[in-house]
């Protein structure tokens, strides 16, 4: 008899955890009876064929409604666990992890930690400390993150496992071949540096735009194109206006199929100040883009480098599968501030890839080679579900 598995995530709109939860649900449905539960499904960017259950408890800024939503989510999920006779519930991110633990019945509870908890607020850290103590199994998306929890949270080695994100290379290849309907003129002439990510401080686009401003002074044909959503878009646009880059830097909305734009670009840059394990690096590798990534905590260096345990870098560094650049200090700067040392290193990395055609071709091939290491993780999840 098939086991009954519930996967819990807050929503199915723009986000790495949401994408990972959807892919996992689809993959596990080949072996188990899978239900995908979300808090709010008014916006759905990721489609699924599994049983989808919407708790209809959207995020709210009203404190009283937050408390009521929290209690309602626990009650509804516990009811669903009983109704579907859940053998195991897997949750993604801090909020869903807490609801998973608080609604426990007879099910095995697996929590997936997706981001760098060191960068979160006090309340989120308190919640995180609670859920890791009460979960049956903890899954991190990178080895560095797992090592942090073992060292700083006294987690038993048998209770925690790393399962990297995956990339459906074949699906991406097909989507990348679709015709461009929007932004066609922007992408027809090449010379595009591209980045994907929410418009929030974490993603570091402020620093990427500043570094690009130096590059474009040397070659005005280059364009920086960013896709995303988020409350930081206005701040970024203000910087673009100040630097007079409106003809060279474009803040575009999130798209369900970024691959048609990735494969028409020249270089992919991720400028994050912190991460868990970047899905967008894998997306860019799948279409053969050379990668420049910040050496932030956590995950980027695990994708870009085959080396282990080397010190944090202070200058841009060519690794086996891409270029690592130093991470910024997590602060926004006033408009008149000159380039920081880290921003200047990012500029140098972009300039070298542009000018060194052999190096760019080398990293294009290395991206296509590396992506095969992240095409499958279902067996690890099955082991996590089945083993005590």
Over the stretch 266-304, which tens digit does the pLDDT of each residue have? Answer: 999 999 999 989 999 999 999 999 999 999 998 999 999
Residue 96 is encoded by which pair of tokens? 């869903």
The domain 4-163 is placed in CATH, from the list 3.40.50.1820, 3.30.450.190, 3.20.20.190, 3.40.50.2000, at 3.40.50.2000
Instruction: Report the candidate in 21, 129, 138, 32 with the shortest Cα–Cα distance to residue 84.
Output: 32
Above pLDDT 90, what percent of the chain?
A: 82
* Alpha carbon distance 91, 99 (integer Å): 9
Sheet holding 137-140, edge to edge: 51-54, 33-38, 4-9, 88-92, 108-113, 137-140, 160-162
Q: What is the pLDDT of residue 265?
A: 97
What does the alpha-carbon distance between residue 69 and residue 66 come to, in Å, rounded to a whole number?
Answer: 5
The pLDDT tens digits for 142-159 are 999 999 888 888 788 889
Element (DSSP H or E) covering residue 20: helix 16-28
Taking only the tens place, the pLDDT of each residue in 159-193 is: 999 999 999 899 999 999 999 989 999 998 879 99
174: phi then psi, degrees, rounded to nearest 5? -70, -40
Over residues 26-37, the mean pLDDT reads 97
- 235 vs 337: CA distance, rounded Å: 15
Domain 169-373 has CATH 3.40.50.2000: yes
What is the residue extent of each domain of the chain?
Answer: 4-163, 169-373
Q: Are 343 and 207 in contact (CB under 8 A)?
A: yes
Q: Is the pLDDT of residue 263 over 70?
A: yes
**Per-chain mean pLDDT for the chain:** 94
From residue 346, alpha-carbon distances to 14, 60, 294 in Å are: 26, 38, 9
What is the tens place of the pLDDT at every residue in 310-356? 899 999 999 999 999 999 876 676 787 889 999 999 999 999 999 99
Closest among 78, 80, 74 to 51, alpha carbons compared:
80
- Give the pLDDT confidence score for residue 329 in this predicted structure: 77
The residue that leads in pLDDT, 62 or 388, is: 62
pLDDT digits (tens, 9 = 90+) for 116-151: 877 778 888 899 999 999 999 999 999 999 998 888
Lowest mean pLDDT among 40-54, 183-197, 221-235, 327-341: 327-341
Phi, psi of 202 (to 5 degrees): -50, -35
pLDDT of 182:
92
User: To which residue do tokens 């090592």 refer?
Assistant: 147
Q: Supply the pLDDT for residue 119.
A: 72
- Which residues pair with residue 250 across a beta bridge? 225
Region 30-35: mean pLDDT is 97
Q: Please determine whether the domains at 4-163 and 169-373 fall in the same fold group of CATH.
A: yes
Taking only the tens place, the pLDDT of each residue in 86-119 is 999 999 999 999 999 999 999 999 999 988 877 7
Q: pTM for the whole thing?
A: 0.90
Structure confidence at residue 330 (pLDDT)? 66
pLDDT of the residue at 66: 93
Contact 259, 167 (CB under 8 A): no
What are the tens digits of pLDDT across the range 64-89? 999 999 999 999 999 999 999 999 99
Q: Where are the beta strands (DSSP E) in 98-222?
A: 108-113, 137-140, 160-162, 192-196
Q: Locate the DSSP E strands across the chain.
A: 4-9, 33-38, 51-54, 88-92, 108-113, 137-140, 160-162, 192-196, 223-228, 249-253, 267-270, 291-294, 317-319, 322-325
């Amino acid at each position: 008899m098939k086991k009954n598995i519930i996967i819990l995530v807050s929503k199915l709109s723009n986000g790495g955890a949401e994408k990972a939860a959807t892919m996992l649900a689809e993959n596990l449905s080949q072996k188990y009876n899978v239900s995908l539960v979300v808090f709010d499904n008014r916006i759905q960017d990721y489609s699924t064929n599994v049983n989808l259950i919407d708790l209809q408890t959207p995020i709210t800024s009203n404190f009283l409604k937050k408390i009521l939503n929290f209690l309602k989510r626990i009650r509804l999920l516990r009811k669903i666990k009983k109704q579907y006779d859940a053998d195991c519930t897997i949750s993604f991110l801090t909020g869903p992890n807490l609801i998973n633990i608080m609604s426990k019945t007879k099910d095995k509870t697996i929590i997936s930690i997706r981001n760098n908890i060191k960068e979160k607020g006090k309340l989120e850290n308190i919640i995180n400390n609670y859920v890791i103590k009460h979960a049956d199994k903890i899954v991190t998306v990178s080895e560095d993150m797992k090592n942090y929890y073992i060292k700083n949270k006294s987690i038993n080695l048998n209770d925690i496992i790393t399962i990297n994100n995956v990339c459906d290379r074949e699906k991406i290849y097909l989507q990348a071949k679709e015709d461009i309907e929007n932004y066609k003129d922007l992408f027809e002439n090449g010379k595009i540096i591209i980045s994907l990510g929410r418009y929030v401080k974490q993603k570091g686009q402020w620093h990427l735009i500043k570094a690009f401003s130096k590059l474009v002074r040397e070659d005005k044909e280059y364009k920086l194109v960013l896709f995303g959503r988020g409350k930081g878009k206005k701040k970024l646009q203000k910087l673009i206006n100040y630097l007079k880059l409106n003809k060279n830097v474009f803040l575009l909305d999130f798209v369900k199929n970024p691959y048609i734009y990735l494969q028409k670009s020249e270089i992919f840059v991720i400028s994050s100040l912190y991460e868990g394990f970047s899905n967008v690096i894998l997306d860019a590798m799948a279409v053969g883009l050379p990668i420049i990534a910040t050496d932030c905590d956590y995950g980027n260096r695990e994708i870009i480098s085959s080396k282990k345990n080397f010190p944090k870098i202070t200058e841009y560094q060519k690794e086996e599968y891409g270029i690592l650049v130093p991470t910024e200090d997590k602060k926004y700067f006033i408009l008149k501030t000159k380039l920081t040392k880290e921003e200047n290193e990012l500029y140098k990395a972009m300039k070298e890839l542009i000018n060194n055609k052999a190096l760019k071709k080398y990293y294009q091939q290395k991206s296509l080679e590396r992506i095969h290491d992240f095409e499958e993780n279902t067996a690890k999840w099955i082991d996590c579900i089945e083993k005590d």
